[in-house]
Chain A
Amino acid sequence: MHKEISRKELLKILPHDDILQQCMHCGLCLATCPTYDITKLERSSPRGRIFMIKSVARGEMELSESFSEEMNFCLDCQACETACPAGVKYGRMVEAARVVADEAGFGSKMEIALKRFALRRIVASRKALKLFSWFLKIYQKSGLQKIIQKTGILKLISKNLFEIETLSPVISEKFSDTQIKEIEMPEGEVKYKTAFHFGCLMNTMFADINLDTIDVLKKCGCKIITPKDQVCCGSLMGHNGDMKFALELARKNIDAFDKHDYDFLISNSAGCGAFMKDYAHLLEDDPEYAEKAKKFSSKIKDITEFLSEEKPDLNLASLNENIKVTYHDACHLVHAQKIANQPRNIIKSLPGVEYIELEEASWCCGSAGIYNVVRYNDALIQLERKMKNISNTGAEIVLTGNPGCMGQIKHGVKKFNVNVEVIHPITLMKRMLQLKQAD
């Protein structure tokens, strides 16, 4: 009896029936779903998953292992939201369903533990993440990595563990938050008052991208405030069933930035930008933070969004020869933030760049937060498809605006032996800027 009551409480986490009812099961989402494409089974489609969630919420079906499995098989890439004319909020439904399934004790215990521990204890704590990154760096630098990779010790323990180990990106020489001043000023007059969120992965694994971003923004005439007390955006926790913790982080970020005067809050990480834009919605029932969150979210701009809308004159130099460039849409830019044309416009406007559109550019690469770690093999199917398309363009550089995608595609470069450089659009711009300054 007691269990029944708690089950009922649990189901309250699922979205209200009015929201679930919005899906009129027309099936237009099916063609865009990477998991349906693999199995061709309705249960692996957005429409099927919504129907399962609806039935569980209405008490017409029991929670089960296969319910949990389908919810976690989903990449949460939200391509279906882009395809849905009815505007169904699928992402929110599936994320809530994961929480319900996890809490009810279904799914892989390892997976849940990994999600909770890694995300709460390591990623969310800058100190722990740095410590972890230091270890990783020493491991990568000391030659121990090469020895371990060569001897194949990890392969003996588990094939997956070996694969995941090679997935870990190279840790940056210096973390970016120690190098970026709390207030950075442009050389000339201040044209824009901006603030900067440096992210977790960007800060430790892709620190150079953060430095490039600052340099390009300064060149645009931006004053940039980077509060030292900012924290992780919380997206990885939110998407993986730990919304309570994610909201604590959201409030901390709002407090950290609220003290400063700025018009745009720049993010160069698609996942962070998308989640911070969502604070307004996530905190709408919090009497203390609702208004502040609304203001905070309204100022968030992805770096490509900012550059494409404000069109600052950067006077970039073309790199030596004509370079062939393609672009991969990060799910959290194209589907979550509906930013598709802005980065393309910027890339096309760069001097000496031949832009080649990538086939299936908005198809998920399999990174999907920590999906490629917890479900390596499922993610690999998507990665292989992505690398094939990238290879077909003949491009020398593939640009993408999310650290997760960059890590995954870099892994794909090694795994499938594709000769292409994976960088953030801002890095390409920085190179052109440097060249100009060297002139």
Chain B
Amino acid sequence: MNSSTKEHIKSIVGSENFFDSPEDKLVYSYDGTPIYKQLPEAVIFPESEEQISQVLKLANTEKFNVVPRGAGTGLSGGSIPVENSVVIVLTRWNKILELDTSNLTASVQPGVVTGILQKEVEKIGLFYPPDPGSLNVCTIGGNVANNAGGLRGLKYGVTKNYVLGVEMILPNGELIVTGGKNMKDVAGFNLRDFIVGSEGTLGIITKILLKLIPKPVQSITLLAYFNKLTDSAQAVSDIIAAHIVPSMMEFLDHTTINCVEDYTRIGLPRTAEALLLIEVDGRGSIVQEDAETIRKILTKNKAAEVKIAEIESDALLLKTARRSAFSALARKMPTTILEDATVPRSELPLMIEKILYASKKYDVIFGNFGHAGDGNLHPTCLTDDRNQKEIEKAHKAFEYIFEEAIKLGGTITGEHGTGLAKKQFLEKVAGSTGVDLMKKIKLAIDENNILNPGKIFSISPKCEGSLPKRREQIKDFNA
């Protein structure tokens, strides 16, 4: 990028919002995804829709790429810079604009932190359910862009179920407003839902209207330990077959239990092979009855112990412990490659067996945990990205896992997005016609392919330049 282009961008956003020192470029070269990184040309913090619009227009004429970014906790590389790119950071757009208690909606800027929004709406008896593991850090804008899920997905759904409206600046610099406070609206194509999960490739989201629901009155949290992994998976299938929909049904394997215990010291049993963390919520005696039925099913499936959290703070402690699982696994090995292969929940026991087999066959260590209730697993490979051979082994194991998941009617990613990390597998699950259609849509909206190019799929001939490199492709450092 030449210096006159940089000067032009600086004049649009103001020099106080423009950063291009080596330090600033470095700290926006990564997000939460392991291995991938690439330096941007500059990082900007625009202050208005108008500034974003002007930068995008300039990108089309001056031929540079633009990569939107929230808190940078993504796990598929969606916010990692590409070649010749400017990163637009939206963390300072963090105002809750309106809480409408008559229509039960919240209007927010994209940089609002998910956990903060949840606390605010809960103060007035309302509830915003989507709760990705990084909820204390991640932003609503990033959640919408990735259609983020979380622990409560099984009963309450994911981000897309709560997005009523989106305002977005298109790659050509124009602003579109989609959706609104209407609970029913079938005027034209449903552009709003189309934007959700587009991973920052179709526009830059500047405002979001969210649906809120009344906060559940009661909840009961159960904790069960198993000496056999497959017993826990069977218990999950049995609970769903008994027509109970818990608000949370989380699973942790032996390795994960131990790493989480190392961090939290809350007394998880270190010898257990698997753990299920289950929460039922609602109102009245049903909650109690459901909890009792679940307890019986757990015992029938040879749970070594079933505990019920006595007080709310204990339940919170357990949920917080579960949310730390991914990062806690890094205690064992420095690089944790987390995937989120997802299968129809009836296939869960079989999928777990496939992962265990992959671990043996390719000689890699896995920590497994995930949202057992909705079939969304997080097989996490524990490795070291400084060792190329180990990384190759891990990739082979994941290739096998993805293929098996697809054979079981599953998908390559349940909630993290395709981004960079899984784009090579997209065609296997979406088909070549599907991917072709996606590319056509992308080019219809972003004719010069300037917005987050190379994410989800590559458009040929490649116009996005070289993509972020994996560590083993980068010239080795002097270790």
Contacts and interface: CB of A to CB of B under 8 A. Distances in A.
Interface of A: 17-18, 21-22, 24-28, 30-31, 40-43, 45, 47-48, 51-52, 55, 58-62, 64, 66-67, 70, 84-87
Given A21-B384, A43-B24, A31 B336 contact: no
Interface in B328-356: 328-331, 334-336
Contacts of A70: 23
Contacts of A41: 19, 24
B23 A43 contact: yes
B26 A61 contact: yes
Interface string B83-111: 00000010110100000000000000000
B331 A86 contact: yes
B214 interface: no
A82 B327 CA distance: 13
Interface in B97-147: 113, 115, 134, 136-138
A84 B479 CA distance: 25
6 closest residue pairs by CB, A with B: A86-B330, A85-B327, A85-B324, A85-B328, A48-B27, A42-B27
B26 A51 contact: yes
Interface in B1-56: 19, 21-24, 26-32, 34, 45
Q: Which residue among B27, B31, B384 has the maximum number of chain A CB atoms within 10 Å of its CB?
A: B27
Nearest to B24: A43
Nearest to A83: B136
A67 B23 contact: yes
Contact of B330 (A24, A45, A59): A24
Q: Which residue among B92, B330, B335 has the maximum number of chain A CB atoms within 10 Å of its CB?
A: B330
Contacts of B479: 17, 58
A56 B49 CA distance: 37
Contacts of A25: 30-32
Given A58-B477, A86-B330, A27 B32 contact: yes
Contacts of A60: 477
Contacts of B45: 40
Given A45-B27, A87-B331, 14 more contacts: A22-B330, A25-B31, A27-B71, A31-B113, A31-B137, A41-B19, A42-B24, A42-B28, A43-B24, A58-B477, A58-B478, A66-B23, A85-B326, A85-B331
B302 interface: no
B335 A52 contact: no
25 contacts: A17-B386, A21-B384, A21-B386, A22-B334, A25-B30, A25-B31, A27-B71, A27-B137, A28-B324, A31-B113, A40-B89, A40-B92, A41-B24, A51-B27, A51-B29, A58-B478, A60-B477, A61-B23, A64-B21, A66-B21, A85-B260, A85-B263, A85-B325, A86-B328, A86-B330
Nearest to A51: B27
Given A26-B327, A31-B113, A85-B263, A52 B477 contact: no
Contacts of A52: 23, 26-27
Contact of B134 (A26, A40, A58, A67): A26
